[in-house]
Amino acid sequence: HICFWEDCPREAKPFAKYKLNHIRVHTGREALSPAPFPGLRARSHSYRNLKIHKRTHTGEKPFKCEFDGCDRKFANSSDRKKHSHVHTSDKPYYCKIRGCDKSYTHPSSLRKHMKIHCKSP
The whole-number pLDDT of residue 114 equals 92
CA atoms within a 13 Å half-sphere pointing along the CA-CB vector of 31 = 3
Who wins on pLDDT, 45 or 74? Answer: 74
**Rounded Cα–Cα distance for residues 29 and 14 (Å):** 22
pLDDT greater than 90 at residue 64 = yes
Task: Tell me the backbone φ, ψ of residue 80, rounded to 5 degrees.
Answer: -65, -40
10-33 per-position pLDDT tens digit: 777 777 665 666 766 666 655 445
Domain 60-89: which CATH number of 2.60.40.10, 3.30.160.60, 3.40.50.720, 3.40.50.300: 3.30.160.60
pLDDT greater than 70 at residue 111 = yes
Predicted model pTM? 0.50
pLDDT greater than 70 at residue 37 = no
Query: What are the distances in angstroms from CA 46 to CA 32, 50, 54, 87?
Result: 8, 6, 12, 32
CATH 3.30.43 for domain 91-120, yes or no, is no
